[in-house]
A and B are shown apart, each in its own frame.
Chain A
Amino acid sequence: MTAQILSELLAILGPQGLISTPDEMRTYENDALTNFRVMPEAVVLPTSTEQVQAVLRICHRERIPFVARGSGTGLSGGALPVTGGIVVSLARMKRILEVDFENQRMVVEPGVINLDVTARVASRGYFYAPDPSSQSVCSIGGNVAENAGGAHCLKYGFTTTHVLGLEVVLADGTLVHMGSQTLDAPGYDLPGVFVGSEGTLGVATKVTLRIVKRPEFVQTLLAAFASTNEAGAAVSGIIAAGMLPAAIEMMDTLAIEAAEAAVHANYPPCGGLLLVELDGPVAEVATLMEEVAAICRANGTSEIRVSKNDEERMLVWKGRKAAFAAMGRLSPNYIVQDGVIPRTALPAILSEMEQLSAAAGLRVANVFHAGDGNLHPLVLYDRRIEGQEKAAEQLAERILELCIEKGGSITGEHGVGEEKKHMMGKMYAEPDLATMNRLRCAFDPLSLANPTKVFPRPRMCGEQPGEYKPHPIEIAGLAERY
C-alpha cells in the first residue's frame, strides 16, 4: 500500500482509526479459526458511516479489496484478511441509536455486542432472540454477516428473522437503506440476501432489529439416556407430539465430560444428554413439560431433572455454552465442525461418525442443536503428533460430506468463509453457484468486498457492471417508469 493512500486513510480516520504496523496488526491476521492467517496492508477503525464510505471509495478507486470485521469470533475465516487488502473493523461503531419499545424495534451500530442489545432492553422485559454461544463478545454486525443462530432459533428464528432494516455501504461507497422499520418494504428482499452474505455484499453500518417480549415462564428439562440414539428417539417423539420447544440440545459423553470439567454444570454422567427448554404462558409450559417428561421416560431415560428456578436453568446452559471451549481440557487441539442434517438422519450419521472416529483413531465429541439437525462435532487431536492434524481435518471434512449425502448442509450457522469454500461445489451444482454469483456481481461488480470467500474460486463479473440499461421500448416512449 502506497504512502499516499495511507496518508489519505489517516486524514479520514485520524491516528486512532488507522493501524498499519505489522506488530499492531497481528490481532487482525485471523478470526477464531486460527489456522488461517493473512497479514493485511492496513486496518481501519471508522467511527461513522461517512468514514466507512470514504474508506470504501478509496478502495474502489484503487481496486483494493477489503474485509469487514466485527469481534473476530467467526469460526469459518470470514473475517480473515485478503492478501493486499485492508480490514475494516467496526468495533468502534458501537452505539445503540434508538430503542422503540412500542414497536419492539431497535437501531444499533454494527459493533454493538449481541448481549448488550438484550441488556439495554431487559429492564422492560424484552430480549434480542438470536443467541450464538459467543454472544457475550460477538457483534451484531458479525451476526448479520453470518446470519448467526444459537440454541433458541428452533423457535425464534435466526438473525435474518430479527433484522428488519439495514444501512449498508456498498463496495463503491454508495449508501443504501435496505428494508425498513415497517414490514414488506416494496421491492426485492435485500435484507433477506444481505444477512448471511458473509461480508461479500457490502458493509452494514446500522441495523434495525426486532426485540421480543420475554416469555412469562421458561423451564428446562435435563434427561439422561444410555446413548444418543435413545435421546434422539425422544426428540423425534417430542416433534411428533406437535410441540415446538424453545430449544432442544443434545450432548454425548465426551461433551458432557468436558463441560463438567470446565464449569461443573452438574450434568448426570450418561451416554446421551438431552436438554429441552419450553417457554410461554405458565399454564402451557406446565402441561407440555409433563408431556416431554413422559416421552423421555417412554424412551428409557435414567434420570430427569426439571429446573426449579432461573439459577438452575442458567447453570444448565452455562455447561452447554461452554462446551466448545471446554474441549481444551480434553485435548490440546480440536476442530469445531458445523453441519446440518435432516433431524431424522441423526442415528445413521452418528453411527457412521463413530466408525470414522474409530478408523482414524481420533475422538469426536458431539454437541447438537437436536431440534433442527445442526451438528457440532468436535474432532480432538494433538498437533504435536505427526499426521494427526491432517487426519483430523480429513475426518472433519468427511463429516460434512456425510451431511451433504443425507440431504443437509455444510454449515448451519458458522458460515462458509475461507474454511468451507471448497465444499460449496459439493453441495451445489455449478449453475447454482453461477446464479449466486450474479447476485454478488450486482452488488460488487469489481469483487472488492471479501472477494476470496464463500465461493470455491474467484469469479469475475464480466461486462456491464452496475449501470442499468433501459429497455428499447422505454427509450421509444412506449413504456414509462414510476
Chain B
Amino acid sequence: MRSVEPQTESEVAEILKRANQEGSAVIPRGGGTKLHWGNAPARADVSLSLARMNRVLEHAWADLTVTVEAGCTMAELQRTLAGHGQRLAVDPLWPEKATVGGVLSTNDTGVLRYRYGGLRDLVIGATLALADGTLAASGGKVVKNVAGYDLPKLVTGAYGTLGVITQATFRLHPSPKKTKNVTANFDSLAEAQRVLLRVLDTQIVPAALQLRTNGGATQMDALFEGTEEGIRAQIETLRQIVRVSEASADVWQRPEAGAKLSTLPSRIAETLAGLNGTAVMQATGLGWVSSSSVDSPNLAELRKKVESSGGSLVLMGRRDGLDAWGTPGDTLPLMRAIKQRFDPRGTLNPGVYLGGI
C-alpha cells in the first residue's frame, strides 16, 4: 500500500481524483487509532493520511465556534479552545492521537454525550473531498443554519466512505466552572437500572450518567458541572433517591472495549443479563462491552438479543466470522444509492461499512 500525506485540500482532491481514475482504493486515516474498526477493506491501495493538515484555522471564541483541519488531534484542539475557557463537548478515545476527521468519521463519542449530544449535534460545517476530486463545502460557520442539506451529519459516522473530511466547524461550549463526580453502589444491575430510571425522571441534569457492571455488582456514576450551589443542590436531590459518595474522575475512564452497544435505557439490565464480562452503559442507552472478557460467540448472542429489541451492537475491532455492523435495516438500498452517487467506483474505504458499502 502506497502512503501519501498531503498538506492542502487541493492536494487531497488531486490524490483522490487520480486514484479514482486508475481504480485504486483509498484508505483515509488520521492518527490511525481506529483503522481496525469496521469491516476489513475489500481493497487497499493508497493510505491517505491527513496528519499534516492539522491547523486550528479559526477559533471564533466570541461566537463559540471553531474551524479546524481534519488532521488536528482532539487534544491539541481542546488545548487551543481551553485558552478561552471553552471546549468541544466530546470526549472520544485516545485524544492525544485521534484526529478531528477520524473522530467524526467513526462517530466516537464519550460520556459527555448525555448532556451535550453527539458529534452530529455539534458539527455545523464540513468540507469534503469526494472520490472524483470535487471539493464541496456544506453547512457553515454559524450554529443555526438550514440552507441546503446537512451533509456534515451525513459524513459523521460514515467511515470516510462518501468523501474525505478535510476540515470541520463545530459549535463550542464554555468549560465548566466546577465539576464533581459521585458514585453509588448496587448489588445487582436490575436494581441499578431501576434507580437510573428514577434519576432520569428527576429534574437534576448531570453532564454524564452511567452504569458500570459485570452483570452483578454495578456502580452508577454521575458527573455534575456548573456552579458550586447548583452542583450541591443536585447532589442533595440525588441523595434522596440513592446513597452516593464522592468519586474521582477516573470513573469515566473508557474501558478497553470490544463493541459499542445501543439499547433503550429501560432495557439495559435485560440486555446485559447473563453477560460474561463487563460493560459500561451511559444513561443515553449507549455503552461499551469490554473486549478482554467477551468472546465472539458471546457477542453474537448479545447482538441477536439487542437487535431483537431495536438496538444495535457494533464491533470496535474485527472478529472472525462476525460482521462489524450487524443486520442492516430496510434503508440499506438507500444507503447504497447514496454511496453510488458519491463514490460510484468504490474508491473510498470499499467494503468497510454496513452491508459491504
How many residues in B have their beta carbons less than 8 Å from beta carbons of A? 95
B320 interface hit (Cβ, 8 Å): no
| Cα–Cα distance between A442 and B357 once the two chains are bound (Å) | 15
In the complex, are the beta carbons of A187 and B354 less than 8 A apart? yes
Closest residue on chain B to residue A369 by CB atoms: B144
In the complex, are the beta carbons of A408 and B140 less than 8 A apart? yes
A359 interface hit (Cβ, 8 Å): no
In the complex, are the beta carbons of B144 and A193 less than 8 A apart? no
A51 interface hit (Cβ, 8 Å): no
A427 interface hit (Cβ, 8 Å): yes
In the complex, are the beta carbons of B312 and A284 less than 8 A apart? no
Q: Is the interface of A mostly helix, strand, loop or mixed?
A: loop
| Cα–Cα distance between A175 and B142 once the two chains are bound (Å) | 34
Given contacts A187-B335, A286-B229, A443-B334, contact A244 B311 (CB under 8 A): no
Q: How far is the CB of B282 from chain A (nearest CB, A)?
A: 9
Q: Which residues of the other chain, A, contact B346 by a CB distance below 8 angstroms? A: 471
| Cα–Cα distance between A133 and B351 once the two chains are bound (Å) | 46
| Cα–Cα distance between A469 and B338 once the two chains are bound (Å) | 12
* B57-65, B181-189, B243-251 - interface stretch: B57-65
Q: Which residues of the other chain, B, contact A433 by a CB distance below 8 angstroms? A: 148
In the complex, are the beta carbons of B312 and A182 less than 8 A apart? yes
Most buried by A among B175, B229, B310, B355: B229
In the complex, are the beta carbons of A186 and B134 less than 8 A apart? no
Q: How far is the CB of A406 from chain B (nearest CB, A)?
A: 9
A101 interface hit (Cβ, 8 Å): yes
Q: Which of B204, B205, B266, B341 is A438 in contact with, Cβ under 8 Å?
A: B341
Given contacts A176-B334, A185-B312, contact A435 B136 (CB under 8 A): yes
**Would you mind naming 5 contact pairs between A and B with Cβ atoms under 8 Å apart?**
A160-B150, A182-B312, A183-B286, A193-B150, A373-B63
Kindly list the 10 A-B residue pairs having the minimum CB-CB distance in the complex, ordered from nearest.
A284-B230, A192-B153, A481-B356, A242-B174, A435-B136, A283-B229, A409-B145, A468-B336, A283-B233, A479-B42
Known: A239-B62, A284-B226, A435-B342. 9 other contacts (CB 8 A): A102-B200, A192-B150, A196-B146, A281-B237, A343-B63, A412-B145, A416-B146, A434-B134, A478-B42
Which A residues form the contact surface with B (CB < 8 A)? 100-104, 125, 146-147, 149, 153, 157-158, 160-161, 170, 174-178, 180-190, 192-193, 195-197, 213-216, 236, 239-240, 242-244, 280-284, 286-288, 340-344, 369, 372-374, 407-416, 420, 424, 427-429, 431-436, 438-443, 454, 464, 466, 468-469, 471, 473-474, 478-482
Which B residues form the contact surface with A (CB < 8 A)? 42-43, 60, 62-65, 85, 107, 117-118, 120-121, 128, 130, 134-138, 140-151, 153-154, 156-158, 162, 173-175, 177, 197, 200-205, 226-227, 229-230, 232-234, 237, 260, 262-266, 284-286, 310-312, 314, 323, 325-326, 328-338, 340-342, 344, 346, 350-351, 353-356
